[in-house]
Structures are given as structure tokens and as C-alpha cells.
Structure 1
Amino acid sequence: MSGKILEKEELDFRESIEFFPDSTFIKQRVYQDSTSTASGKYGSFISDGNDYLKLKYSKDSYLIQTCGNSMVEYLRILSESEIYNGGYLPCDGPGYYYTRTRK
């Protein structure tokens, strides 16, 4: 692992997760010439004093950021406006920070 931190402007895609009041979500990754989406249900829990979101996908997708064949992804809530996914870290992959945007 390089430990290099890339800014969102350096990535070749834009990714977002939209959470809805009925406990569903949609993750979208937009490339210059295509868009991929995945969806499912989410819930929250506390572990070791940290708040998390558990995303359970309805279909398998390359957008699921976890090692192995799991259809579950965990996001740590860092603040009211920031969450973190380190699901790829155990398999030497990247971590992703998401910041809240208002519509």
C-alpha cells in the first residue's frame, strides 16, 4: 500500500450514497461515459463506542466495498457530515470518505 491520499478530483469517477427515511439507500458511481448503481437497505448500530451504518445490498455488485463475497458493507459515522468506509483495507484496498451534500 502506498498510503497516498487522493483527492476526489484525482479519481476517474464520482461516487455518492443517498439514504432515504424508509431505510433504503442507492449508491451511484458516475464515470465519464457510464453510470453504475446498487441499492439495498441500511441500519445503524454501535460497536466499541463508534457509530456505524450497515448497508445490505439487494443484488451483488462491484460497488460493494468489502473483501470477499459479502453483500454487506459497513460505514463508520465520523460526524454529522462525514462517513468512512474502510472495507477494502484488510485486502490492501483503498478507504473512502464521504461528505454530506445538501440537495
Structure 2
Amino acid sequence: MLRGILFFLLFYTSCSVSDDPLQSDRWELSSTYGYMTQTEQDASELPYTETVEFVSDGLFLKTRFTQDESEIINGRWTTLTRDGRSGFLVTYAEDHPFIQNCTMEPQEFYFPQQGRLIQSDYTPCDGPEYRYVRAGD
């Protein structure tokens, strides 16, 4: 429990200072990694770009940009430890085609690792791991 609280506090103290009463932490997709082929694909090679944003009130925004269009889905995030990793469980109101996981649940789990934010719920069914870097870095 204490570890989760410390993780949460570290997460928010790393957010940039803003005049907005709701602080947010925004991440951009930098690459995907396929464990079957053991290859990393740079996000610039994908037909879309993607950002995820954690807002301090628990709101989560996932935006995918393709050509001149963008689509945003939102959910709610909470801190969670899964498989020994402290991170963030995002739950969406309904399933959506770009929620990346192997279940029918409209959820994703994100965790920090070596300065990146990782979402690997899709790897058990041979999908790629999604790797994000903090926006502006």
C-alpha cells in the first residue's frame, strides 16, 4: 500500500507545473515491440500516432491520429500493482478497436519502465508491446 502511494506521489511530482487545476501527464507513442519477432518498430513507421494522458482527477484520454483525423476515447485510471509492477489500470466505459489487450474487458494496464510508459496487455496473444515517452521529452 505504501509503495503504491509513493509511486502515485512520484508520478504526480514529475508532472509539469500548470495553471490548470487539473494536472495531467501526457505520453506519446514512441515505438512498438514484437516479442515473437524480437523487433522494435518506430512510431514514425506506423499509419497512426497515439497519445495517452492521465489527468489528476482520474480521467484518462487516449487519442489516435490518422492522416487528418483523430479519435479520442476516455476512461478512468487507478493505481494498481499487477505481476509485481506498480502502474495504472485504465477502465473504459465500453470496448473499442484500439484498446490493446487479449481479453474482452475494456481495460489496459500501463507501467513505467526505464523512463518509458509500457502497455503490454496485447503481448500474450502475439500483439506488440506499446512504448510511450513523456510528451515534450
TM-score normalised by structure 2 residue count: 0.67
Match of 2:17 in 1: none
**Alignment partner for residue 42 of structure 2, among 7, 11, 35?**
7
Tell me if 1:90 matches 2:124: yes
Identity of matched residues, %: 30
Structure 1 gaps of 5+ residues are none
TM-score normalised by structure 1 residue count: 0.87
Structure 2 gaps of 5+ residues are 1-35
Deviation digits for residues 54-73 of structure 1, max 9, x if unmatched?
Answer: 00002221121101211111
Q: Superposition RMSD on alpha carbons, in Å?
A: 1.5
Match of 1:38 in 2: 73
Amino acid at match of 2:72: T
**Alignment partner for residue 88 of structure 2, among 48, 53, 65?**
53
Match of 1:63 in 2: 98
Q: Name whichever structure is richer in helix by fraction.
A: 2
Give the length in aligned residue pairs: 101
Greater Rg by CA: 2
The structure whose RCO (Cα within 8 Å, separation 6+) is larger is: 2
Distance in 2 (alpha carbons) for counterparts of 1:70 and 1:31: 25
Distance in 2 (alpha carbons) for counterparts of 1:53 and 1:63: 18
Distance in 1 (alpha carbons) for counterparts of 2:42 and 2:93: 30
